Amino acid sequence: MSENVGRVMGVNGNLLTVEFSHPVFQNEMAYAEVGEERLKAEVIRVRGRYADLQVFEDTKGLRIGDRVHFSGELLSVQLGPGLLTRVYDGLQNPLAELAEQSGFFLKRGLYLDALDMKREWDFTPSVKEGDEVAAGHFLGHVPEGIFEHRIMVPFGLAGQWTVKEIAPEGAYNVTERIALLTDAKGNEREVTMMQHWPVKIPIKAYVERLRPKKPLVTKVRIIDTICPVAVGGVYCTPGPFGAGKTVLQQITSRHADVDVVVICACGERAGEVVETIREFPKLTDPRTGKSLMERTCIICNTSSMPVAAREASVYTAVTIAEYYRQMGLNVLLLADSTSRWAQALREMSGRLEEIPGEEAFPAYLESVIASFYERGGIVRLHNGSTGSVTIGGTVSPAGGNFEEPVTQATLKVVGAFHGLSRVRSDARRYPAVDPLDSWSKYDPVVPREQVALAERLLRQSAEVAQMMKVVGEEGTSMEDFVIHLKGEYLDAVYLQQDAFDEVDGATSADRQRHVFARLHDILETEMDFSDKNEARAFFQRLIQATRDWNRAAMDTDEFAELESKVRGMVSEAARYA
Protein backbone atom coordinates (compact mmCIF):
# COMPACT_ATOMS: atom_id res chain seq x y z
CA MET A 1 0.00 0.00 0.00
CA SER A 2 1.29 3.47 -0.88
CA GLU A 3 2.12 5.96 1.83
CA ASN A 4 -0.95 7.68 3.26
CA VAL A 5 -0.28 11.43 3.21
CA GLY A 6 -2.76 14.18 4.04
CA ARG A 7 -2.71 17.96 3.93
CA VAL A 8 -3.29 20.43 6.76
CA MET A 9 -6.51 22.38 6.20
CA GLY A 10 -6.70 24.16 9.55
CA VAL A 11 -4.71 24.81 12.71
CA ASN A 12 -6.35 25.70 16.04
CA GLY A 13 -3.80 25.53 18.83
CA ASN A 14 -2.75 21.89 18.99
CA LEU A 15 -5.78 20.78 16.93
CA LEU A 16 -5.22 20.08 13.23
CA THR A 17 -7.83 19.52 10.56
CA VAL A 18 -6.34 17.32 7.85
CA GLU A 19 -7.71 16.31 4.46
CA PHE A 20 -6.87 12.73 3.48
CA SER A 21 -7.35 10.57 0.40
CA HIS A 22 -6.71 7.05 1.75
CA PRO A 23 -8.70 5.62 4.70
CA VAL A 24 -7.67 6.57 8.26
CA PHE A 25 -9.06 5.33 11.57
CA GLN A 26 -9.80 6.60 15.05
CA ASN A 27 -6.74 6.97 17.34
CA GLU A 28 -4.34 6.40 14.44
CA MET A 29 -0.92 7.99 14.86
CA ALA A 30 0.28 10.58 12.38
CA TYR A 31 3.24 12.91 11.92
CA ALA A 32 2.90 16.53 10.80
CA GLU A 33 5.91 17.93 8.95
CA VAL A 34 7.32 21.34 9.95
CA GLY A 35 10.51 21.74 8.01
CA GLU A 36 12.74 18.88 9.11
CA GLU A 37 10.67 18.23 12.24
CA ARG A 38 7.96 15.57 12.45
CA LEU A 39 5.37 16.27 15.15
CA LYS A 40 3.51 13.28 16.58
CA ALA A 41 -0.28 13.52 16.53
CA GLU A 42 -3.34 11.32 17.05
CA VAL A 43 -6.59 11.12 15.11
CA ILE A 44 -9.43 11.96 17.50
CA ARG A 45 -12.29 12.45 15.03
CA VAL A 46 -13.02 11.52 11.42
CA ARG A 47 -15.60 13.45 9.37
CA GLY A 48 -15.96 12.42 5.74
CA ARG A 49 -12.58 13.03 4.15
CA TYR A 50 -11.38 15.24 6.98
CA ALA A 51 -9.69 14.12 10.18
CA ASP A 52 -9.15 16.11 13.37
CA LEU A 53 -5.83 15.42 15.05
CA GLN A 54 -4.47 16.42 18.45
CA VAL A 55 -0.76 17.20 18.30
CA PHE A 56 1.47 16.21 21.22
CA GLU A 57 3.88 19.08 20.55
CA ASP A 58 3.88 22.86 20.11
CA THR A 59 2.37 23.53 16.67
CA LYS A 60 4.27 26.75 16.02
CA GLY A 61 5.19 26.96 12.34
CA LEU A 62 2.49 24.63 11.00
CA ARG A 63 0.70 26.07 7.95
CA ILE A 64 -2.16 25.26 5.61
CA GLY A 65 -1.00 22.72 3.06
CA ASP A 66 1.74 21.10 5.19
CA ARG A 67 2.06 17.35 4.81
CA VAL A 68 0.79 14.89 7.41
CA HIS A 69 1.89 11.24 7.27
CA PHE A 70 -0.55 8.67 8.68
CA SER A 71 1.28 5.70 10.22
CA GLY A 72 -1.47 3.08 10.19
CA GLU A 73 -0.69 2.31 13.84
CA LEU A 74 -2.20 3.19 17.20
CA LEU A 75 -0.35 5.14 19.92
CA SER A 76 1.71 2.36 21.52
CA VAL A 77 4.40 1.84 24.14
CA GLN A 78 7.44 -0.41 24.21
CA LEU A 79 7.16 -3.11 26.87
CA GLY A 80 10.12 -5.16 28.04
CA PRO A 81 12.93 -5.33 30.61
CA GLY A 82 14.40 -2.00 31.60
CA LEU A 83 11.26 0.02 32.32
CA LEU A 84 11.94 0.26 36.05
CA THR A 85 14.18 3.08 37.34
CA ARG A 86 13.34 5.12 34.24
CA VAL A 87 11.69 8.54 33.93
CA TYR A 88 9.59 9.04 30.79
CA ASP A 89 7.42 11.76 29.33
CA GLY A 90 3.84 11.08 28.30
CA LEU A 91 4.94 9.57 24.97
CA GLN A 92 7.43 7.24 26.72
CA ASN A 93 10.51 9.20 25.69
CA PRO A 94 13.26 8.71 28.31
CA LEU A 95 13.77 12.21 29.67
CA ALA A 96 17.43 11.79 30.63
CA GLU A 97 18.42 10.78 27.09
CA LEU A 98 16.05 13.37 25.63
CA ALA A 99 17.77 16.10 27.67
CA GLU A 100 21.22 14.92 26.56
CA GLN A 101 20.28 15.28 22.90
CA SER A 102 18.19 18.45 23.29
CA GLY A 103 20.14 20.64 25.68
CA PHE A 104 18.45 23.00 28.14
CA PHE A 105 15.09 22.96 26.34
CA LEU A 106 13.59 19.69 25.10
CA LYS A 107 13.78 19.53 21.32
CA ARG A 108 10.47 19.41 19.50
CA GLY A 109 9.79 16.38 17.31
CA LEU A 110 12.51 14.22 18.89
CA TYR A 111 11.32 10.71 19.81
CA LEU A 112 13.60 8.08 21.33
CA ASP A 113 13.33 4.38 22.11
CA ALA A 114 11.93 3.75 25.58
CA LEU A 115 14.14 0.69 26.10
CA ASP A 116 17.89 0.30 25.77
CA MET A 117 18.24 -1.62 22.51
CA LYS A 118 21.89 -2.51 23.09
CA ARG A 119 21.81 -3.71 26.69
CA GLU A 120 21.96 -7.49 27.06
CA TRP A 121 19.83 -9.38 29.56
CA ASP A 122 20.53 -12.85 31.01
CA PHE A 123 17.66 -14.90 29.64
CA THR A 124 16.55 -18.18 31.24
CA PRO A 125 13.92 -20.18 29.29
CA SER A 126 10.98 -21.73 31.13
CA VAL A 127 9.41 -23.63 28.20
CA LYS A 128 10.75 -26.22 25.76
CA GLU A 129 10.14 -27.01 22.13
CA GLY A 130 6.72 -28.50 21.56
CA ASP A 131 4.99 -26.79 24.49
CA GLU A 132 1.57 -25.24 23.88
CA VAL A 133 1.32 -21.55 24.81
CA ALA A 134 -1.09 -18.65 24.42
CA ALA A 135 -1.02 -14.89 24.83
CA GLY A 136 0.47 -13.93 28.19
CA HIS A 137 2.15 -17.30 28.87
CA PHE A 138 5.67 -17.12 30.28
CA LEU A 139 8.48 -18.11 27.91
CA GLY A 140 11.30 -17.33 30.31
CA HIS A 141 12.66 -14.59 32.53
CA VAL A 142 15.51 -12.13 32.99
CA PRO A 143 16.63 -10.42 36.22
CA GLU A 144 15.41 -6.84 36.63
CA GLY A 145 16.32 -5.39 40.01
CA ILE A 146 14.74 -7.52 42.73
CA PHE A 147 12.30 -9.19 40.32
CA GLU A 148 12.30 -11.89 37.70
CA HIS A 149 11.06 -10.02 34.65
CA ARG A 150 8.87 -12.46 32.76
CA ILE A 151 9.19 -12.65 28.98
CA MET A 152 5.69 -13.34 27.70
CA VAL A 153 3.93 -14.48 24.56
CA PRO A 154 2.75 -11.27 22.81
CA PHE A 155 -0.62 -10.19 24.14
CA GLY A 156 -2.17 -9.76 20.70
CA LEU A 157 -1.82 -13.40 19.60
CA ALA A 158 -5.12 -15.27 19.39
CA GLY A 159 -5.56 -18.99 20.02
CA GLN A 160 -3.01 -21.66 20.87
CA TRP A 161 0.57 -21.63 19.60
CA THR A 162 3.36 -24.21 19.71
CA VAL A 163 6.93 -23.43 20.68
CA LYS A 164 8.99 -24.35 17.61
CA GLU A 165 12.25 -22.85 18.85
CA ILE A 166 13.33 -21.40 22.20
CA ALA A 167 16.63 -19.64 22.80
CA PRO A 168 19.07 -21.35 25.17
CA GLU A 169 20.15 -19.69 28.38
CA GLY A 170 22.34 -16.71 27.59
CA ALA A 171 22.61 -12.94 27.11
CA TYR A 172 20.35 -11.24 24.56
CA ASN A 173 19.19 -7.72 23.82
CA VAL A 174 15.50 -6.83 23.55
CA THR A 175 15.43 -7.04 19.73
CA GLU A 176 16.97 -10.50 19.36
CA ARG A 177 14.70 -13.48 18.78
CA ILE A 178 14.26 -15.66 21.83
CA ALA A 179 11.42 -17.86 20.55
CA LEU A 180 9.67 -18.95 17.36
CA LEU A 181 5.98 -19.90 17.63
CA THR A 182 3.70 -21.64 15.13
CA ASP A 183 -0.08 -22.04 15.07
CA ALA A 184 -2.29 -24.84 13.71
CA LYS A 185 -2.25 -23.30 10.21
CA GLY A 186 1.53 -23.23 10.10
CA ASN A 187 1.86 -19.48 10.61
CA GLU A 188 5.04 -18.49 12.38
CA ARG A 189 5.68 -15.65 14.83
CA GLU A 190 9.05 -14.52 16.11
CA VAL A 191 9.16 -13.37 19.72
CA THR A 192 11.65 -10.95 21.24
CA MET A 193 11.92 -9.61 24.77
CA MET A 194 10.22 -6.41 23.62
CA GLN A 195 6.66 -6.02 22.45
CA HIS A 196 4.47 -3.06 21.53
CA TRP A 197 0.97 -2.48 22.87
CA PRO A 198 -1.63 0.26 22.14
CA VAL A 199 -2.04 2.34 25.28
CA LYS A 200 -5.80 2.82 24.99
CA ILE A 201 -6.57 -0.91 24.76
CA PRO A 202 -6.47 -2.81 28.09
CA ILE A 203 -4.17 -5.85 28.29
CA LYS A 204 -6.44 -8.86 28.82
CA ALA A 205 -4.09 -11.83 28.50
CA TYR A 206 -5.33 -13.40 31.76
CA VAL A 207 -7.84 -16.08 32.77
CA GLU A 208 -10.29 -14.03 34.85
CA ARG A 209 -10.75 -10.89 36.92
CA LEU A 210 -11.28 -11.34 40.64
CA ARG A 211 -13.09 -9.26 43.23
CA PRO A 212 -10.70 -7.11 45.30
CA LYS A 213 -10.95 -8.31 48.90
CA LYS A 214 -7.54 -8.29 50.57
CA PRO A 215 -6.66 -4.95 52.21
CA LEU A 216 -3.70 -3.13 50.72
CA VAL A 217 -1.57 -2.12 53.69
CA THR A 218 -0.27 1.40 53.07
CA LYS A 219 1.01 1.76 56.65
CA VAL A 220 -0.87 5.05 56.86
CA ARG A 221 -3.19 4.38 59.81
CA ILE A 222 -6.10 6.62 58.86
CA ILE A 223 -6.24 4.96 55.44
CA ASP A 224 -5.80 1.34 56.51
CA THR A 225 -8.30 1.66 59.36
CA ILE A 226 -10.90 4.31 58.47
CA CYS A 227 -10.96 4.35 54.64
CA PRO A 228 -9.00 1.28 53.47
CA VAL A 229 -7.86 0.33 49.99
CA ALA A 230 -7.97 -3.20 48.59
CA VAL A 231 -5.29 -4.94 46.54
CA GLY A 232 -6.51 -4.34 43.00
CA GLY A 233 -8.94 -1.65 44.15
CA VAL A 234 -9.29 1.93 42.96
CA TYR A 235 -9.49 5.07 45.07
CA CYS A 236 -9.28 8.83 44.75
CA THR A 237 -7.77 11.57 46.90
CA PRO A 238 -9.37 14.95 46.20
CA GLY A 239 -8.39 18.03 48.11
CA PRO A 240 -7.64 21.75 47.80
CA PHE A 241 -4.24 23.01 46.72
CA GLY A 242 -1.59 22.63 49.41
CA ALA A 243 -3.53 20.08 51.47
CA GLY A 244 -0.89 17.38 51.01
CA LYS A 245 -2.06 15.21 48.08
CA THR A 246 1.36 14.80 46.51
CA VAL A 247 3.12 14.17 49.83
CA LEU A 248 0.52 11.55 50.80
CA GLN A 249 1.06 9.80 47.47
CA GLN A 250 4.82 9.76 47.97
CA ILE A 251 4.42 8.28 51.47
CA THR A 252 2.02 5.67 50.11
CA SER A 253 4.35 4.73 47.26
CA ARG A 254 7.22 4.22 49.70
CA HIS A 255 5.47 2.13 52.34
CA ALA A 256 2.57 0.34 50.61
CA ASP A 257 2.85 -3.45 50.40
CA VAL A 258 3.23 -3.59 46.61
CA ASP A 259 5.94 -4.80 44.26
CA VAL A 260 6.05 -2.07 41.61
CA VAL A 261 5.11 1.61 41.79
CA VAL A 262 4.18 3.63 38.69
CA ILE A 263 4.00 7.39 39.24
CA CYS A 264 2.05 9.39 36.67
CA ALA A 265 2.46 13.15 37.09
CA CYS A 266 -0.15 14.07 34.49
CA GLY A 267 -0.06 17.85 34.43
CA GLU A 268 1.30 18.80 37.84
CA ARG A 269 3.35 21.97 38.21
CA ALA A 270 6.90 21.55 36.94
CA GLY A 271 8.37 22.32 40.37
CA GLU A 272 6.51 19.42 42.00
CA VAL A 273 7.51 17.02 39.24
CA VAL A 274 11.17 18.05 39.47
CA GLU A 275 11.03 17.51 43.24
CA THR A 276 9.57 14.03 42.69
CA ILE A 277 12.30 13.12 40.20
CA ARG A 278 15.01 14.39 42.55
CA GLU A 279 13.64 12.88 45.76
CA PHE A 280 12.69 9.37 44.64
CA PRO A 281 16.25 8.18 43.91
CA LYS A 282 17.21 9.37 47.40
CA LEU A 283 14.39 7.50 49.15
CA THR A 284 15.32 4.19 50.74
CA ASP A 285 13.05 1.27 49.99
CA PRO A 286 12.03 -0.22 53.37
CA ARG A 287 11.76 -3.67 51.76
CA THR A 288 15.26 -3.86 50.28
CA GLY A 289 17.28 -1.05 51.85
CA LYS A 290 18.14 0.11 48.31
CA SER A 291 16.82 3.03 46.29
CA LEU A 292 13.05 3.13 45.88
CA MET A 293 13.58 3.90 42.18
CA GLU A 294 14.68 0.30 41.58
CA ARG A 295 11.02 -0.75 41.62
CA THR A 296 9.55 2.52 40.37
CA CYS A 297 8.73 3.95 36.95
CA ILE A 298 7.85 7.64 36.59
CA ILE A 299 5.77 9.09 33.76
CA CYS A 300 5.77 12.87 33.94
CA ASN A 301 3.96 15.48 31.90
CA THR A 302 4.12 18.85 33.59
CA SER A 303 1.64 21.69 33.25
CA SER A 304 4.10 23.48 30.94
CA MET A 305 4.01 20.63 28.41
CA PRO A 306 1.37 20.40 25.64
CA VAL A 307 -2.05 19.50 27.03
CA ALA A 308 -2.61 16.59 24.62
CA ALA A 309 0.33 14.76 26.18
CA ARG A 310 -1.47 14.71 29.54
CA GLU A 311 -3.95 12.18 28.18
CA ALA A 312 -1.13 10.15 26.66
CA SER A 313 0.75 10.07 29.98
CA VAL A 314 -2.25 8.61 31.83
CA TYR A 315 -2.68 5.77 29.35
CA THR A 316 1.06 5.14 29.07
CA ALA A 317 1.30 4.72 32.84
CA VAL A 318 -1.67 2.35 33.16
CA THR A 319 -0.39 0.20 30.27
CA ILE A 320 3.00 -0.21 31.97
CA ALA A 321 1.18 -1.09 35.21
CA GLU A 322 -0.91 -3.74 33.41
CA TYR A 323 2.27 -5.17 31.88
CA TYR A 324 3.84 -5.81 35.27
CA ARG A 325 0.53 -7.18 36.54
CA GLN A 326 0.77 -9.83 33.81
CA MET A 327 3.96 -11.07 35.53
CA GLY A 328 2.06 -11.83 38.73
CA LEU A 329 3.23 -8.67 40.52
CA ASN A 330 1.20 -6.23 42.61
CA VAL A 331 1.42 -2.77 41.07
CA LEU A 332 0.41 0.59 42.54
CA LEU A 333 -0.39 3.31 40.00
CA LEU A 334 -0.58 6.84 41.38
CA ALA A 335 -1.94 9.55 39.06
CA ASP A 336 -1.38 13.17 40.11
CA SER A 337 -3.56 14.96 39.24
CA THR A 338 -6.43 13.70 37.12
CA SER A 339 -7.98 17.18 37.20
CA ARG A 340 -5.24 18.40 34.82
CA TRP A 341 -6.03 15.49 32.51
CA ALA A 342 -9.74 16.41 32.60
CA GLN A 343 -8.86 20.03 31.84
CA ALA A 344 -6.96 18.86 28.76
CA LEU A 345 -10.06 16.93 27.67
CA ARG A 346 -12.12 20.08 28.18
CA GLU A 347 -9.74 22.14 26.07
CA MET A 348 -9.79 19.66 23.18
CA SER A 349 -13.56 19.29 23.40
CA GLY A 350 -13.92 23.06 23.11
CA ARG A 351 -11.70 23.18 20.03
CA LEU A 352 -13.74 20.38 18.48
CA GLU A 353 -16.84 22.53 19.14
CA GLU A 354 -18.61 19.68 20.91
CA ILE A 355 -21.72 20.30 23.01
CA PRO A 356 -20.31 21.01 26.50
CA GLY A 357 -21.40 19.35 29.72
CA GLU A 358 -21.28 20.78 33.22
CA GLU A 359 -18.64 23.51 33.68
CA ALA A 360 -17.72 23.10 29.97
CA PHE A 361 -16.24 19.64 30.51
CA PRO A 362 -17.08 17.20 27.70
CA ALA A 363 -20.35 15.33 28.07
CA TYR A 364 -18.45 12.02 27.95
CA LEU A 365 -16.17 12.92 30.91
CA GLU A 366 -17.67 10.26 33.18
CA SER A 367 -17.16 7.44 30.68
CA VAL A 368 -13.54 8.46 30.01
CA ILE A 369 -12.70 8.55 33.73
CA ALA A 370 -14.52 5.25 34.31
CA SER A 371 -12.64 3.53 31.49
CA PHE A 372 -9.34 4.55 33.08
CA TYR A 373 -10.13 3.36 36.61
CA GLU A 374 -11.67 0.12 35.29
CA ARG A 375 -8.21 -0.89 34.09
CA GLY A 376 -7.26 -1.50 37.70
CA GLY A 377 -8.11 -4.82 39.32
CA ILE A 378 -6.77 -8.18 40.44
CA VAL A 379 -6.52 -10.99 37.87
CA ARG A 380 -5.74 -14.70 37.79
CA LEU A 381 -3.03 -15.64 35.31
CA HIS A 382 -2.55 -18.79 33.24
CA ASN A 383 -0.19 -20.36 35.79
CA GLY A 384 -2.69 -19.89 38.65
CA SER A 385 -0.93 -16.94 40.27
CA THR A 386 -2.49 -13.51 40.64
CA GLY A 387 -1.40 -10.01 39.77
CA SER A 388 -2.99 -6.68 40.56
CA VAL A 389 -3.09 -3.01 39.60
CA THR A 390 -4.26 -0.68 42.36
CA ILE A 391 -5.06 2.80 41.04
CA GLY A 392 -5.01 5.90 43.20
CA GLY A 393 -5.80 9.22 41.55
CA THR A 394 -5.68 12.67 43.10
CA VAL A 395 -8.19 15.34 42.14
CA SER A 396 -7.58 19.08 42.52
CA PRO A 397 -11.02 20.72 42.67
CA ALA A 398 -10.92 24.50 42.66
CA GLY A 399 -11.44 25.79 46.18
CA GLY A 400 -11.75 22.24 47.51
CA ASN A 401 -15.27 21.97 46.06
CA PHE A 402 -16.03 18.25 45.94
CA GLU A 403 -19.25 18.91 44.01
CA GLU A 404 -17.39 19.83 40.81
CA PRO A 405 -17.70 17.44 37.81
CA VAL A 406 -14.29 15.69 37.91
CA THR A 407 -14.61 14.74 41.58
CA GLN A 408 -18.21 13.59 41.17
CA ALA A 409 -17.40 11.56 38.05
CA THR A 410 -14.51 9.91 39.90
CA LEU A 411 -16.60 9.11 42.99
CA LYS A 412 -18.99 7.05 40.86
CA VAL A 413 -16.31 4.49 39.93
CA VAL A 414 -13.88 4.30 42.86
CA GLY A 415 -14.12 2.03 45.88
CA ALA A 416 -12.58 4.43 48.41
CA PHE A 417 -12.64 8.19 48.89
CA HIS A 418 -9.87 9.98 50.81
CA GLY A 419 -11.08 13.56 51.08
CA LEU A 420 -8.41 15.99 52.20
CA SER A 421 -9.56 18.83 54.42
CA ARG A 422 -8.29 22.40 54.35
CA VAL A 423 -9.22 22.77 58.03
CA ARG A 424 -7.12 19.74 59.02
CA SER A 425 -4.27 20.86 56.80
CA ASP A 426 -4.24 24.36 58.32
CA ALA A 427 -4.31 22.78 61.80
CA ARG A 428 -1.28 20.64 60.79
CA ARG A 429 -3.23 17.42 61.34
CA TYR A 430 -1.45 15.22 58.83
CA PRO A 431 -2.36 13.19 56.90
CA ALA A 432 -5.13 15.72 56.29
CA VAL A 433 -7.68 13.04 55.32
CA ASP A 434 -11.04 13.99 56.85
CA PRO A 435 -12.28 10.88 58.71
CA LEU A 436 -15.87 12.18 58.72
CA ASP A 437 -16.14 12.79 54.96
CA SER A 438 -13.99 9.90 53.72
CA TRP A 439 -15.37 6.43 53.08
CA SER A 440 -14.48 3.02 51.67
CA LYS A 441 -16.24 -0.05 50.33
CA TYR A 442 -13.25 -2.27 51.19
CA ASP A 443 -12.44 -4.16 54.39
CA PRO A 444 -10.08 -2.49 56.91
CA VAL A 445 -7.08 -4.16 58.52
CA VAL A 446 -8.80 -3.99 61.94
CA PRO A 447 -12.22 -5.46 62.89
CA ARG A 448 -15.13 -3.50 61.45
CA GLU A 449 -16.99 -3.30 64.78
CA GLN A 450 -14.03 -1.50 66.35
CA VAL A 451 -13.91 0.95 63.43
CA ALA A 452 -17.66 1.58 63.77
CA LEU A 453 -17.23 2.63 67.40
CA ALA A 454 -14.35 4.95 66.51
CA GLU A 455 -16.28 6.58 63.66
CA ARG A 456 -19.32 7.08 65.90
CA LEU A 457 -17.17 8.68 68.59
CA LEU A 458 -15.44 10.95 66.07
CA ARG A 459 -18.81 12.21 64.82
CA GLN A 460 -20.09 12.78 68.37
CA SER A 461 -16.86 14.59 69.24
CA ALA A 462 -17.21 16.86 66.19
CA GLU A 463 -20.83 17.64 67.11
CA VAL A 464 -19.83 18.56 70.68
CA ALA A 465 -17.02 20.77 69.31
CA GLN A 466 -19.52 22.64 67.13
CA MET A 467 -21.87 23.02 70.09
CA MET A 468 -19.06 24.34 72.28
CA LYS A 469 -18.40 27.11 69.77
CA VAL A 470 -21.87 28.41 70.58
CA VAL A 471 -22.40 27.68 74.28
CA GLY A 472 -18.78 27.38 75.42
CA GLU A 473 -17.32 24.78 77.77
CA GLU A 474 -19.45 25.97 80.67
CA GLY A 475 -22.61 25.14 78.74
CA THR A 476 -21.42 21.60 77.96
CA SER A 477 -22.07 18.65 80.23
CA MET A 478 -19.16 16.66 81.63
CA GLU A 479 -20.31 13.57 79.69
CA ASP A 480 -20.27 15.43 76.37
CA PHE A 481 -16.95 17.08 77.22
CA VAL A 482 -15.31 13.70 77.85
CA ILE A 483 -16.69 12.43 74.53
CA HIS A 484 -15.08 15.41 72.82
CA LEU A 485 -11.76 14.76 74.55
CA LYS A 486 -11.86 11.08 73.57
CA GLY A 487 -12.41 12.02 69.93
CA GLU A 488 -9.50 14.48 70.07
CA TYR A 489 -7.38 11.81 71.72
CA LEU A 490 -8.10 9.27 68.95
CA ASP A 491 -7.36 11.87 66.30
CA ALA A 492 -4.09 12.97 67.90
CA VAL A 493 -2.58 9.54 68.62
CA TYR A 494 -3.91 7.38 65.79
CA LEU A 495 -5.23 9.35 62.82
CA GLN A 496 -2.20 11.65 62.81
CA GLN A 497 1.30 10.31 62.13
CA ASP A 498 4.78 11.75 62.41
CA ALA A 499 6.36 11.12 59.01
CA PHE A 500 9.74 12.22 60.35
CA ASP A 501 9.80 9.40 62.90
CA GLU A 502 11.06 6.08 61.56
CA VAL A 503 8.62 4.02 63.64
CA ASP A 504 5.54 6.24 63.72
CA GLY A 505 5.88 7.14 60.02
CA ALA A 506 4.87 3.64 58.88
CA THR A 507 2.69 1.33 60.96
CA SER A 508 2.41 -2.35 60.02
CA ALA A 509 -0.94 -4.14 59.90
CA ASP A 510 -0.12 -6.23 63.00
CA ARG A 511 0.75 -3.12 64.98
CA GLN A 512 -2.39 -1.33 63.82
CA ARG A 513 -4.56 -4.22 64.99
CA HIS A 514 -2.79 -4.39 68.35
CA VAL A 515 -2.79 -0.66 69.05
CA PHE A 516 -6.32 -0.05 67.82
CA ALA A 517 -7.64 -2.83 70.04
CA ARG A 518 -6.10 -1.06 73.06
CA LEU A 519 -7.47 2.29 71.94
CA HIS A 520 -10.88 0.70 71.45
CA ASP A 521 -10.82 -0.42 75.09
CA ILE A 522 -9.80 3.09 76.19
CA LEU A 523 -12.62 4.71 74.21
CA GLU A 524 -15.15 2.33 75.77
CA THR A 525 -13.90 3.01 79.30
CA GLU A 526 -16.09 5.28 81.39
CA MET A 527 -13.99 7.87 83.18
CA ASP A 528 -14.63 9.97 86.27
CA PHE A 529 -13.26 13.50 86.70
CA SER A 530 -13.98 16.17 89.28
CA ASP A 531 -14.06 18.98 86.74
CA LYS A 532 -13.24 19.78 83.13
CA ASN A 533 -9.77 21.08 83.91
CA GLU A 534 -8.84 17.75 85.44
CA ALA A 535 -10.27 15.93 82.40
CA ARG A 536 -8.36 18.14 79.98
CA ALA A 537 -5.09 17.73 81.88
CA PHE A 538 -5.53 13.96 82.01
CA PHE A 539 -6.06 13.63 78.27
CA GLN A 540 -3.09 15.88 77.55
CA ARG A 541 -0.88 13.52 79.58
CA LEU A 542 -2.51 10.49 77.95
CA ILE A 543 -1.90 11.91 74.45
CA GLN A 544 1.78 12.45 75.20
CA ALA A 545 2.18 8.98 76.70
CA THR A 546 0.48 7.36 73.71
CA ARG A 547 2.58 9.34 71.25
CA ASP A 548 5.69 8.07 73.05
CA TRP A 549 4.24 4.57 72.67
CA ASN A 550 3.79 5.20 68.92
CA ARG A 551 7.50 5.92 68.58
CA ALA A 552 8.61 2.70 70.28
CA ALA A 553 9.40 -0.27 68.05
CA MET A 554 7.02 -3.18 68.48
CA ASP A 555 8.23 -6.33 70.32
CA THR A 556 10.65 -4.34 72.49
CA ASP A 557 10.72 -3.79 76.24
CA GLU A 558 10.13 -0.07 75.70
CA PHE A 559 6.95 -0.82 73.72
CA ALA A 560 5.61 -3.08 76.51
CA GLU A 561 6.53 -0.58 79.25
CA LEU A 562 4.82 2.34 77.50
CA GLU A 563 1.73 0.25 76.76
CA SER A 564 1.57 -0.67 80.46
CA LYS A 565 1.93 3.01 81.37
CA VAL A 566 -1.00 3.98 79.14
CA ARG A 567 -3.15 1.20 80.59
CA GLY A 568 -2.29 2.27 84.11
CA MET A 569 -3.25 5.89 83.43
CA VAL A 570 -6.62 4.82 82.03
CA SER A 571 -7.26 2.50 84.98
CA GLU A 572 -6.74 5.36 87.42
CA ALA A 573 -9.29 7.50 85.59
CA ALA A 574 -11.81 4.70 85.09
CA ARG A 575 -15.17 4.85 86.84
CA TYR A 576 -16.35 1.52 88.12
CA ALA A 577 -20.02 0.79 88.64
Exposed, middle or buried, 46 (CB in 10 Å: 0-12/13-18/19+)?
A: middle
Q: Is 360 annotated as a binding residue?
A: no
Q: Is 573 annotated as a binding residue?
A: no
d(CA 468, CA 205): 59
Q: Is 245 annotated as a binding residue?
A: yes
d(CA 292, CA 317): 18
Q: Is 240 annotated as a binding residue?
A: yes
d(CA 355, CA 300): 30
Neighbours of 180 (CB within 10 A): 17
Task: Specify whether the CB–CB gap between 274 and 303 falls below 8 A.
Answer: no
Buried b (16+ CB within 10 A) or exposed e, 263-273: bbbbbbbeebb
d(CA 303, CA 465): 41
Q: Is 242 annotated as a binding residue?
A: yes
Buried b (16+ CB within 10 A) or exposed e, 3-28: ebebebeebebbbbbbebeeebeeeb
Buried b (16+ CB within 10 A) or exposed e, 64-99: eebebbbeeebbbbbbbbbbbbbbbbbbbbbbeebe
Q: What angle do CA 524, 528, 531 make, to 5 degrees?
A: 130
Q: Is 465 annotated as a binding residue?
A: no
Q: Is 553 annotated as a binding residue?
A: no
Return the closest-CA partner of residue 347 out of 394, 307, 390.
307
- Known binding site: residues? 239-246
- Known binding site for ATP: residues? 239-246
